[in-house]
Structure 1
C-alpha cells in the first residue's frame, strides 16, 4: 500500500478516530495526541496492517492502548495553562447541564471501566470484541461494565436526590 492510500485514510477517518479518543479522555488535546500517536504507529506498519485486519481497527486499538497507559507517564501530572480558568458561575435555576454532568461522571471511572463504556455504548461493540481489544475475557468486560454502571447510577442518584437537611426537611 502506498503513501497516497495512507494519506487518504488519515483524511477520511481522522475525525472519527479523534472523536473516539476524545470520548476516552474527555480532553481535546490529549485526544489529539493519542490519535496522532496511533496514526504514527499505523504508518510504520502500514503495509502489514492493511493486509491483515485493516487500518482502522489497528489505529483504534493503538489509541485505546495509549489511553490505558498514558497516566503511567510522568507527563500526566503536568498540565500547564496560560491562565487558570475562572470559577464557573452557578446556573440561576440550579440545574446542571446533563452533558457536562455525564462527562464529569465518566471522568471518575477507572480507565478500564471508561474504555468499556465508550467501546460498548459509543462504538457499539460486542463484549467479545471489547475483550479482544482490552486483552481480557468477555466476563471481565461485563464486570467492568457492571461496576461502571453501578457507580454512574449511584452518582446520578446522589445528584438528583440531595441529602435532607437537619430536621427532616429538604
Structure 2
C-alpha cells in the first residue's frame, strides 16, 4: 500500500478519536473540527517523512496539542475591543465527552499544558511516557503537570460536592 493510501486509511480509522481529543483540547465542537482539519493537513504534508506510519498517532497528537496551544496564545493577542459583544457559543458537551459539564468547565480553566496532560493521560488513556513523547517533554514534567492539574481540580470541585454534606 502506498503512502497516500496509508494516510487515507489512518484518517478513516482515527478521525473520530481525534475529534474527541480535539474537542477536549479546544472546548467546543466547531473548534475541534477546525483543529482536526489543521492537524491532518499538517500531517499529510509530512506523511512521507514519517518513517513509521504505525506510530503516527503520537506524531498527530503532538501536532494537535501544539496547534491548540498556539491558537490559544494567538487568541489573546488578537482580541479587539468592540462596542457590541458577540454572542457566546456554548460547547456541545453531549457530543464532546462523557464528562459532566461542571467538571469540564473546571478542566477548561486549567492552563493549556495541564489541560493537554489531563486529556492525553485520562481521556486518551496514554501512559506517562507516551504523553511525554506526544508533548515533547520529560516524564517528570508530565507527572508534575498531572499532579498540579488534579490538585487544582480537586480544590475547585470538592468544595461544591461537599457543600450540603455534614462533616464528622
Distance 1:62 1:107, change over 3 A: same
1:84 corresponds to: 87
Structure-to-structure mapping, 1:7-22, within 5 angstroms: 7-22=8-23
Distance 1:130 1:73, change over 3 A: same
Question: How far 1:150 moved relative to its partner?
Answer: 0.8
Is there any run of 5+ residues in structure 1 with no aligned partner, and where?
A: 87-97, 164-170
Q: Give the SS at the match of 1:66.
A: helix
**Based on CA coordinates, which of the two structures has the bigger radius of gyration?**
1
1:167 corresponds to: none
Distance 2:46 2:61 in 1: 14
**Does the Cα contact within 8 Å between 2:115 and 2:149 map onto a contact in 1?**
yes
Distance 1:154 1:62, change over 3 A: same
1:118 corresponds to: 119
Question: How far 1:50 moved relative to its partner?
Answer: 5.2
- How big is the alpha-carbon RMSD for the aligned residues of Structure 1 and Structure 2? 2.6
Question: How far 1:137 moved relative to its partner?
Answer: 1.7
Is there any run of 5+ residues in structure 2 with no aligned partner, and where?
A: 81-85, 90-98
Greater mean deviation of Cα atoms: 150-159 or 67-76: 67-76
**Does the Cα contact within 8 Å between 2:62 and 2:136 map onto a contact in 1?**
no
TM-score between the two structures when normalised by the length of structure 1: 0.75
How many equivalent pairs are there?
A: 149
Distance 2:142 2:88 in 1: 37
1:36 corresponds to: 37
TM-score between the two structures when normalised by the length of structure 2: 0.76
Distance 1:128 1:46 in 2: 23
